[in-house]
């Protein structure tokens, strides 16, 4: 427990609890819960090759002591600040109701129709910024620390199935329902409730234990044979589109399925979906590591350089 709160040095623990409580009252859900993002980033950081690990360490502010996951929630914290309001549409993709498909040119825009302003465009954007950093040609307008934090956060969001959801219900945000005994909504169930329930039921409310279980299944468990195909990528742009497509497919098959406004979701919903959530966190982490390893490798594979030259900014 101690480790988790270390980074809030300037706040007392009680202030942190109060802050967390106030944040929990903010209505529109914000992406994987804190836990989802922290686990995605811890999985990724453990898989970095030495060059990428060093680049990440150099980009992180000193107060986090080299721990990427300590700042992976930062983009959710700043998205309502005036200075970062432009990042707000970058956390998700709204797709046409019931289409269950993702089409970049059709769907990747903000609510005013501005192109590339969605989580898929943002991942491309910040990957491209970071690859210029490695090449020593980075644009000084861009803050490379922020590029790293945004990329790391958005790789989590794009793997949260309900972040690539339907337009009218805002990715399930307007589908109010009950989770066991308390009020929630469908988006929030996938951001947070399923993870919290798993921690409560199986991991003694300890995120570390859940994380270790996921990591074990990546290295020599149920997913160890799949990891190579998860991270395989010849063309970053189409890989990102694939991740978004996987999410909307899962949203249709598992998220929206059998759910209506006002219903109560419990065990019957939770049990089959938990493995899906765990796998998405694992995939997000493995793929974030793969991007960082490519982007920070000194013998840059052509794909990254190529992508960077015609990437949206
Ligand atoms: C890319 O990042 C820059 C700032 O770093 C921002 O101005 C631009 O809107 C971003 N575009 C997308 C699609 O994320
Ligand atoms: C980059 O962004 C981080 C986080 O917002 C900030 O702390 C840092 O001062 C910025 N660096 C520069 C050079 O502006
Ligand atoms: C890891 O795999 C085991 C089966 O070997 C499974 O029971 C467990 O739920 C998995 N845990 C996670 C977090 O995926
Ligand atoms: Zn987010």
Query: Domain spans of the chain?
Result: 28-309
Mutate to test the pocket of ligand 3, among 36, 204, 212, 222 (most ligand atoms within 8 A of CB): 222
Are 311 and 115 in contact by the 8 Å Cβ rule? The answer is no
Residues 268 and 282: their CA atoms lie apart, in Å, by 23
Q: What is the pLDDT, as a whole number, of residue 73?
A: 97
Residues 8 and 67: their CA atoms lie apart, in Å, by 13
Q: What is the pLDDT, as a whole number, of residue 31?
A: 72
Residue with CA closest to ligand 1 atom 5: 142
The string over 130-158, giving b where at least 16 C-beta atoms fall within 10 Å of a residue's C-beta and e elsewhere, is bbbbbeeebeeebebebbbbbbbbbbbbb
Q: What is the pLDDT, as a whole number, of residue 300?
A: 58
Q: What is the pLDDT, as a whole number, of residue 136?
A: 76
Q: What is the pLDDT, as a whole number, of residue 30?
A: 58
For domain 28-309, is the CATH number 3.40.50.1370? Answer: no
> Which atom in ligand 1 lies closest to the alpha carbon of residue 117?
13
CB atoms within 10 A of CB 179: 21
CA dihedral 219, 64, 187, 233 (to 10 degrees): -40
Alpha carbon of 247 to ligand 1 centroid (Å): 23
Are 285 and 47 in contact by the 8 Å Cβ rule? The answer is yes
Asked whether the CA dihedral 193, 195, 200, 206 is positive or negative, the reply is negative
Q: Does residue 122's CB lie within 6 angstroms of at least one atom of ligand 1?
A: yes
Q: Does residue 226's CB lie within 6 angstroms of at least one atom of ligand 3?
A: no
Q: What is the pLDDT, as a whole number, of residue 12?
A: 45
Would you write out the chain's pLDDT as a tens digit for each of its 313 residues? 333 333 444 444 454 444 454 444 444 445 778 999 999 999 999 999 999 999 999 999 999 999 999 999 999 999 999 999 999 999 999 999 999 999 999 999 999 999 999 999 999 999 999 998 877 777 778 999 999 999 999 999 999 999 999 999 999 999 999 999 999 999 999 999 999 999 999 999 999 999 999 999 999 999 999 999 999 999 999 999 999 999 999 999 999 999 999 999 999 999 999 999 999 999 999 999 999 999 999 875 544 444 444 444 3
Q: Does residue 238's CB lie within 6 angstroms of at least one atom of ligand 1?
A: no
Q: What is the pLDDT, as a whole number, of residue 301?
A: 53
Q: Does residue 214's CB lie within 6 angstroms of at least one atom of ligand 3?
A: yes
Give the ligand with the smallest distance to the CA of 59. 2
Residues 76 and 32: their CA atoms lie apart, in Å, by 10
CB atoms within 10 A of CB 112: 7
């Amino acid at each position: 427990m101690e480790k988790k709160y270390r980074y809030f040095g300037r706040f007392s623990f009680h202030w942190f609890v109060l802050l967390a409580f106030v944040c929990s009252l903010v209505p529109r859900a914000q992406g994987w819960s804190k836990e989802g993002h922290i686990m995605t980033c811890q999985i990724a950081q453990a898989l970095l090759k030495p060059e990428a690990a060093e680049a990440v360490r150099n980009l992180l502010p000193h107060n986090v002591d080299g721990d990427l996951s300590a700042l992976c929630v930062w983009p959710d914290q700043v998205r309502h600040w005036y200075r970062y309001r432009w990042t707000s549409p970058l956390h998700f993709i709204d797709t046409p109701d019931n289409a269950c498909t993702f089409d970049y040119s059709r769907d990747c825009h903000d609510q005013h129709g501005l192109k590339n302003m969605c989580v898929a465009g943002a991942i491309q954007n910040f990957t491209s910024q970071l690859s210029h950093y490695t090449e020593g040609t980075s644009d000084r307008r861009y803050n490379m620390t922020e590029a790293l934090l945004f990329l790391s956060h958005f790789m989590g969001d794009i793997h949260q199935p309900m972040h690539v959801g339907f337009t009218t219900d805002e990715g399930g945000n307007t589908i109010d329902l009950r989770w066991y005994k308390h009020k929630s909504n469908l988006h929030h169930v996938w951001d947070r409730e399923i993870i919290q329930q798993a921690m409560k039921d199986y991991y003694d409310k300890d995120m570390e234990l859940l994380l270790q279980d996921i990591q074990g299944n990546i290295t020599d468990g149920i997913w160890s044979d799949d990891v190579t195909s998860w991270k395989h990528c010849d063309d970053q742009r189409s890989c990102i589109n694939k991740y978004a497509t996987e999410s909307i497919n899962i949203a249709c098959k598992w998220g929206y399925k059998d759910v209506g406004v006002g219903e109560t979701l419990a065990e019957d919903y939770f049990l089959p979906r938990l493995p899906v959530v765990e796998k998405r966190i694992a995939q997000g982490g493995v793929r974030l590591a793969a991007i960082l390893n490519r982007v920070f490798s000194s013998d840059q594979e052509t794909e990254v350089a190529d992508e960077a030259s015609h990437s949206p900014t």
